[in-house]
Every structure is written in structure tokens, then in C-alpha cells.
Amino acid sequence: MAQGIRQEFRDELHQLEAQAMGGLDLVVTQLDRALEAMKYQDVELAGMVIMDDDRIDGRYLEVNQGVLGLLARQAPVATDLRVVAALLHIIRCVERMGDQCVNMAKLVPLSGFEAPKDKVILDHIEKMGICARQQVGFAREAFQSRHVELAQDLVRQDAEINRLNRAIFQRAVAVGDDPEVREWAMFMVLVARCLERVGDNTVDIAEQTVFVVTGLFREFTHNEG
């Protein structure tokens, strides 16, 4: 049997993987803009984030339909089958992370143009944003290079996002008596929740990486971090 007898299939699979990974790049862009809009109360930029979610949704449809077509026409097996199944899962994560960026962007006008701010909460949100962005990048790199250790390390990284999320909640509870500050803090709790969910989605992608490499699906626990 000649090498690359299913070259057309292989090309299609690589193309689909590239599209899914490109979806993660779109998420990073949306995340950056949503965080910037939040930081500078930039309602216009927030509006762009909301509009541009269509691109991520479109990417989801492309990969989803590509995967279905590949399953129907090529009947992939073994590692190929695991990659195809993982891509279906990953593109779903991409779409959800895009939605979280939209959720954050929608909170920008609600949180007020000159909102009273709490520096501790703002610092934590900024750190969470940096962590979430890094995790999306690492999730992409781990999957693309089939790097099991890098994938497993995402659990450890995600623990930091979770810690910051809890810290923001506690700070919001104790932020003071000013109703405006408390309202603003409640919005920040929602933003933190969005970032925490982005982190969880990167861990899901990491789990898919390990599944593709080992053939065994195992949900990561934070004890592993």
C-alpha cells in the first residue's frame, strides 16, 4: 500500500484542525478587545466584540459541517477518529468562549461610564484576563503539538483563575455600603464568572488533547494541578 493513500482525507483533516485552531485565535482577539473595552469603558469597542461574534459562530458552523462531512464520506478510525471527535468538541468550546466575550462586552455599558471602581477587584479582573488569554494560547499549542504534559499543566494554571474568581466574589461582598460601588462590583463578579468559564473551556480542550494522544478520556481534576 502506498504512503499517503488517503492524502485527500488527510488534507481535509489538517484543514479542519487549522480552522478550529484559527477559532482559538479569534477567541484571543475577542478576549483582548472585551477586556480592553471593560478597562476603558469603551462601549464602541464592546459593540464590535458583540458584532464580531458572528465570525466565531461562522467558524463553528464551518468546522461542525466539515466534521460531519468527513465522518459521512471518509469514516475515519483510530487516531483520525479521535482527532475528528476532539475537533467537534473543541469548536464547541471555541463557540462558548466567544459567547463569554460577548457576555463581558454586554456588561460594559451596564457598568456605567464613570463607574466607581475598586482597585483590588480591577487588579484581579486584569490578572484573570491575562491568565485566560494565556490559557487559550497554551490550549492551542498543546493540542497542535499533541503535548500531553502541557495540556495537563493547564489544570494547574486554571486553579489561579478559580482562586481569583473566588477572591473577586469575596471582595464584592465586602466592598462597602455605597450602592453604586456594590452594583458595579456585582457586574465585575459576572465578568469574573465569564473569564472563569473561558478557563474551564481551555481545560476541556486540554482533556481532548490527552484523549487524542492516549485514546483514553479522563476528566482533569484540580488536584492534578
Partner 1 sequence: MNPPFPDPGLGLPGPATMPEPGPGVAAAPRVEVAGLRAFYGDVEALAGVDLEVPANAVTALIGASGSGKTTLLRCINRLHEEVPRARLEGRVTVDGIDVYGPAIELPAVRRVVGMVFQRPTPFPSMSVYDNVAVGLRLAGARGPAVRETVVAALEVVGLWDELGHRLGVPAVSLSGGQQQRLCIARALAPDPAVILMDEPCSALDPIATLRIERLIGELTANHTIVLVTHNMQQAARVADTIVFMMDGRVIEHSPALELFTRPRDVRTERYVTGNFG
List contacts with partner 1 (CB under 8 A).
1, 3-6, 9-10, 75-82, 215-216
Q: Cα separation of 223 and 184, whole Å?
A: 33
* In the complex, minimum distance from the CB of residue 144 to partner 1, in angstroms, rounded to a whole number: 19
| Sequence-ordered list of residues with C-beta below 8 angstroms from that of 194, at least 6 positions apart, any chain | 100, 101, 103, 104
Q: Is 119 helix (H, G, I), strand (E, B) or coil?
A: helix
* In the complex, minimum distance from the CB of residue 207 to partner 1, in angstroms, rounded to a whole number: 16
* In the complex, minimum distance from the CB of residue 71 to partner 1, in angstroms, rounded to a whole number: 11
* In the complex, minimum distance from the CB of residue 194 to partner 1, in angstroms, rounded to a whole number: 35
The residue (of 6 and 156) whose beta carbon lies closer to partner 1 is 6
Q: Which residues of 14-48 are buried (b: 16+ CB within 10 A; e: fewer)?
A: eebbebbbebbebbbebbebbbebbeebbeebbee
The residue (of 6 and 222) whose beta carbon lies closer to partner 1 is 6
The residue (of 83 and 191) whose beta carbon lies closer to partner 1 is 83
Q: What is the DSSP letter of 175?
A: S
* In the complex, minimum distance from the CB of residue 79 to partner 1, in angstroms, rounded to a whole number: 6
Let me know the angle formed at the C-alpha of 30 by 26 and 32, rounded to the nearest 5 degrees: 115
- The alpha carbon dihedral of 182, 187, 193, 196 has a sign of negative
Contact of 208 with 145, CB cutoff 8 Å = no
The residue (of 82 and 140) whose beta carbon lies closer to partner 1 is 82
Q: Cα separation of 30 and 130, whole Å?
A: 13
C-alpha closest to that of 56 among 93, 85, 87 = 93
The residue (of 15 and 170) whose beta carbon lies closer to partner 1 is 15
* In the complex, minimum distance from the CB of residue 152 to partner 1, in angstroms, rounded to a whole number: 19
Quick one: cell of 62?
464551518
The residue (of 10 and 96) whose beta carbon lies closer to partner 1 is 10
